[in-house]
Structure 1
Amino acid sequence: METLLYLTLLISGFYTPSSCLHQYHLISNNTNWTDAQSYCRAHYTDLATVDDMEDQNRLITSVSFDDSFWIGLKKGDSMKWHWSLADRRFYREGETEFRNWDTGTPQNGNCAFMSTAGLWNNTSCDDQHHFLCYDGKQGTNQTYVLIQENKAWIDAQSYCRQNHTDLVSVRNQTENTEIENKISLSGLPVWIGLFLDSWRWSDQSDSSFRNWLPGWPSTDQGYNCTLVYSSLYYDHYYYWYHSKWINHPCGLNYPFICYGPAVETTEKPQLKRHVVRMKMTPKDQHLNISDPAVQETILQDIRNKLKEQGLPADTKVTWKKQPDGKVFHKEEEGSPKKEEEEKKMKRMMTKREL
């Protein structure tokens, strides 16, 4: 019989308001996307626009871990190529439009890869390829990092954002030649950061940042509006929460997030805390979960997963001990508390499948 254990994480970090970033406002009223847009335009600036991972990290501090919220991304009628790395400061005039397509391309497929000859092709984003990350962090030895693992495009994007900066952008012919030389010895094509979609921001921003949950956006008819989806996720032997994007019919009712103009502030950094309750099913029933070394190993795994989902690097993740000094509590079969938790888990997993 499996042992079901419940544990509590304390996730905390400092957030300093900035005058150059969007100021997000959570509106808890449930409404459809169009009414949410009207409300945000009347009381703030517009439904939330998310320009990059920094925006995403700050936005999720304003939402609950167990709900979904409209943001301003909506499906349009025309398709356009974008770079995964959305920071406008990274590109000079005309560089977002540089292309080096092979003859007869682009054709079918929404994600781009580069051949060892330096020419670009497009294919299904679900295909598996090696990929090239761009690393713009100070102190790194490499600008272009070749990852010789086969991944789908969105998984490659997640890997690059977690470990470097993003999938590589190719801004001009000089960079195209550099990358061609980088991958030529591998003999295999690589994903680059170029993708095709028809999604548009409510405020008409040209931000290309997307943070879809793997397997999304859904291609179902009428799934034209975007939710920040904070959901319960099971990975190996524990449940945890993550915030990604999914698309849903615009007529459904959800709370929503507006943004307003940035406000100059001299506020001191504010400590943000989230307490997350999780369920763990140990594979090894003889595992001594009271051992501090075992607890630290599990905690480090959770830190890595949260980092992968875009949590700021300076965020602290620690165990929150109960009054009896324990971290893990076994729930007995048939206990009211366990039944309540299982019902909540079931609701969350059902919601994820919608």
Structure 2
Amino acid sequence: ENYIDLVTLSDQADMEELLGLDSFTYTESAWIGLKKSGSKQWRWALADPQFYQEGETEYRNWATKEEEVVIEYEDCLIPAGHFAYIGLFKDDYIWSDNSTSSFRNWDPDQPDESGECVAQRLRDSRLWDDQTCSAQKPFFCSACV
């Protein structure tokens, strides 16, 4: 097979598939394609293209229902004087293939600034850990399909 890059994980289903591979049971962790970029950027928690149309990646909309909801139920989403999470988060990690996947699967104490590359733990928590990029370990690749 021709491998093109380190793996990008888009959702929990990708994680399940990755963790189902038998070839890495001998090691503590393996590299994935996420690394620190050096500058924090705002990202949508749900980066799936079904939430926006071409050219609309800068905001979310309610598609066809927005106008009628605003007209009929003016304050239906956020009571006056309150705040609401709209789905943005800020982090400084990017995928090596420049994917826009916002999927994150950090261990609760991670990232702890101990490294700039991200490893998938294959034992104990099976979550992500930031580690020093120079550490030698196996890695997960994406194949050219």
Shorter-normalised TM range = 0.7 to 0.9
Matched with 1:231 is: 123
Report if aligned partners of 1:69, 1:229 keep a CA contact under 8 Å in 2. yes
Distance 1:89 1:172, change over 3 A: closer
Residue 181 of structure 1, aligned match among 73, 76, 81 = 76
Matched, 1:197 2:91: yes
Query: Partners in 2 of 1:225 and 1:50 — Cα distance?
Result: 15
Matched with 1:134 is: none
What's the offset of the Cα at 1:65? 8.6
What's the offset of the Cα at 1:231? 3.5
Matched with 2:55 is: 94
Matched with 2:136 is: 253
Query: Partners in 1 of 2:47 and 2:123 — Cα distance?
Result: 25
Matched with 1:81 is: 42
Residue 215 of structure 1, aligned match among 109, 113, 135 = 109
Over aligned residues, Cα RMSD in angstroms? Answer: 3.0
Distance 1:190 1:203, change over 3 A: same
SS of 2:16 mapped into structure 1: helix
Report if aligned partners of 1:225, 1:248 keep a CA contact under 8 Å in 2. yes
What's the offset of the Cα at 1:57? 1.7
What's the offset of the Cα at 1:44? 0.6
Report if aligned partners of 2:119, 2:131 keep a CA contact under 8 Å in 1. yes
Query: Partners in 2 of 1:65 and 1:87 — Cα distance?
Result: 34
Q: Percent identity, aligned pairs only?
A: 41
Q: TM-score, normalised by structure 1?
A: 0.34
SS of 2:13 mapped into structure 1: helix
SS of 1:182 mapped into structure 2: coil
Matched with 1:119 is: none
Distance 1:90 1:58, change over 3 A: farther
Matched, 1:70 2:31: yes
| Per-residue CA distance 1:205-251 (angstroms, 9 max, x = gap) | 2222221111211234xx1000011332xxxxxxxxx4211110101
| Per-residue CA distance 1:120-145 (angstroms, 9 max, x = gap) | xxxxxxxxxxxxxxxxxxxxxxxxxx
Matched, 1:172 2:61: yes
Amino acid at match of 1:93: E
| Per-residue CA distance 1:158-177 (angstroms, 9 max, x = gap) | xxxxxxxxxxxxx13749x6
What's the offset of the Cα at 1:78? 2.5
Amino acid at match of 1:172: N
Structure 2 unaligned segments of length 5 or more: list them. none
SS of 1:192 mapped into structure 2: coil
Whose strand fraction is larger, Structure 1's or Structure 2's? 1
Report if aligned partners of 2:8, 2:34 keep a CA contact under 8 Å in 1. yes
Distance 1:65 1:79, change over 3 A: same
Q: TM-score, normalised by structure 2?
A: 0.77
Report if aligned partners of 1:75, 1:224 keep a CA contact under 8 Å in 2. yes
SS of 1:191 mapped into structure 2: coil
Query: Partners in 2 of 1:211 and 1:243 — Cα distance?
Result: 9
Distance 1:194 1:260, change over 3 A: same
Report if aligned partners of 2:31, 2:118 keep a CA contact under 8 Å in 1. yes
Q: Aligned pairs, how many?
A: 137
Query: Partners in 2 of 1:243 and 1:251 — Cα distance?
Result: 21
The structure 1 segments of at least 4 consecutive aligned residues displaced by more than 4 Å after TM superposition are none
State the structure with more CA Rg: 1
Q: Which structure has the higher relative contact order (CA within 8 Å, separation 6+)?
A: 2
Structure 1 unaligned segments of length 5 or more: list them. 1-24, 26-42, 99-170, 233-241, 263-354
